[in-house]
Copies of this chain bind each other. A is one copy, B any other.
Amino acid sequence: MSNGRAVNGFLLDITGVLYNSIYKSDGVAIAKSAEAVDFLYKHSNVKFLSNAKGNSNRNVARRLQRLGINIREEDVITPAPVVAQYCRENKLRPHLFVREDVLQYFDGIDTSSPNCVVMGEVEEGFSFERINRAFRVLIDMPKPLLITMGNGKFFQRVDGPCIDVGAFAAALKFSTNCEVLNIGKPSRFYFEQGINALGMKPEEIVMVGDDLMSDVGGAQACGMRGIQVRTGKWRPDFEKLPVTPDLTADCLYDAVKLIADNGFRL
């Protein structure tokens, strides 16, 4: 690894890489992630590509700042504003099954007589009646379309793993035979948001994440290098899965330090 290829930019996952999530609290910073972020702002280029669907970019950044991790709101990429832009460009009228804090991104978008469902709700706002309303919108469409903010199997909270929005997309697909469009990792369209924000070629970028299939595999499929950290939702049995990271490190800080010590090559 003494040579390797140049690393000019970093895309970082947020949850499970910078901090761990605790239900109805800010969560806890992962050791030395604050230092890693400061270092990257100073010595490289960094953007944050998250599938977080419950909060606005402003509130995602503020939460991290409260944990002592100084990320800037304008460097945060989350699915909701990307989905809203996609709706605008494609003249979609979404039924919104999303958190209150991200509704602001859909201001000005016509939501009457919906021709798709946008889903990004789990945990406290999730209820039978809400998924049933989404189901009823889809079952009445000739060609039902579900846009999901991420398609994960589970997310990790400090108290344990939690079933994620991908499962409820599978539920709605089972009952309505809808098309499912994921705007979130690992979709290429979503990774391109991060690549474009860094303004460089995919091969110059490393993506650091805790989800082997979605973060690491998804980044590699887009021509980036994928780094697995052993934090967040990482599990030892990831080794059995059919994706091989370009690097596996105990935490973000270790990954950053290793690459920096190698002259920003990997």
| Additional A-B contacts beyond A136-B161, A171-B171 (7; CB < 8 A) | A132-B163, A135-B167, A139-B154, A153-B175, A153-B176, A166-B175, A167-B174
**Residue A127 is within 8 A (CB to CB) of chain B in the complex:** yes
Nearest CB on B from A134, distance (A): 8
Kindly report which residue of chain B lies nearest to residue A235, judged by CB atoms. B139
Contacts of A260 in B (CB 8 A): none
Contacts of A166 in B (CB 8 A): 174-175
**B174 with A161: CB separation less than 8 A:** no
A174-B153 contact given A124-B128, A127-B127, A128-B123, CB 8 Å threshold: yes
Question: Which residues in chain A, 20-69, are within 8 Å of chain B measured between CB atoms?
Answer: none
| Interface: A72 (CB within 8 A) | no
Question: Is A197 engaged at the interface, CB distance under 8 Å to the other chain?
Answer: no
Q: Is A10 an interface residue (CB 8 A)?
A: no
CA distance A260 to B172 in the complex (A): 42
A160 to chain B, nearest CB (A): 6
Asked if B126 and A162 sit within 8 Å, CB to CB, the answer is: no
